[in-house]
Amino acid sequence: MSGVTTTERTITQDGRRVKLYIMTPARMTGKPGVLLFIHGGVWIAGNFDNHKRLLRDLVVGSGQVGVFVEYTPLPAAVYPTQLDEIYAALGWVAAHAGELGADGSRIAVAGNSVGGNMSAALTLMTKDRKGPKISYQVLLIPATDASVDSQSYLSYGKGRFLARDFMKYGWDRYAPDAKTRENPYVSPLRASLAQLQGLPPALVITAENDPLRDEGEAYARKLKEAGVSVDAVRYNGTIHDFVLLNALRNIPSTEAAIRQTAEGIRNHIEAD
């Protein structure tokens, strides 16, 4: 892909083997930080191939090194395996970013859809465990709650790219029991204000015609209520994963959202 160099690496961290894709911008000024990217796809359909254009846009736009986590999909694994693999990747990046020509003390996490869910969960987990510092979180059209009954689900759950039935199918397999779904690592929206306090600054992007819109915006409001610095933006006239879909790449809303995301990442983790 133009403007970047991509390599693959399988790492072992915390007893887990995780495949990573490392994307390095061709042009860098100073030592870059790291963008840890967590992909969507309802834990089933996502992978590097169908997310690499989006990651490339963010890497080139921000000037940071991108690290894409290829976590184990459903049905081969269920919660908490995926999140544990992502946390292992975070630990590895913090310790080994120098091998990538980057600074492991400057990390942003970004994810789309259920990747946004796990990005939010990762910030909670590393806070609780006193793990590697995350300086910025980007939640793109995120799933933040295991329920599928919000008004936006009812309004946009059919015929708007992401189907309510598909999300329910994924949730029923990722976290099938009610007790697990109460865990903030599964449903970040259910975290208490105390649990949310001290989390990194956030950019939350939602789409008007998206089943996940209401829960994404509710999570942004709750983060703000907890004292977290939040930029929350709804892009009107858009559908779920509009930033990901190549067919929509050149529409003004997609261009604006990618530019806003890349600038936010650069402003929060670039070298002083």
Catalytic residues: 113, 210, 240
If one counts every other C-beta atom within 10 angstroms of the C-beta of residue 30, the result is 10
Both structure tokens of 206: 């939602």
Question: What DSSP line would sit under 115-149, residue for residue?
Answer: HHHHHHHHHHHHHHTT-S---EEEEES----S---
Longest CA pairwise span in the chain (Å): 48
Sign of CA dihedral 46, 47, 53, 59: positive
Sign of CA dihedral 84, 193, 112, 200: negative
Q: Which residues contact 172 (CB under 8 A, 6 or more apart)?
A: none
Count of helix runs (H) and strand runs (E) in the chain: 9, 8
Cα–Cα distance for residue pair 206/59, rounded to 1 Å: 21
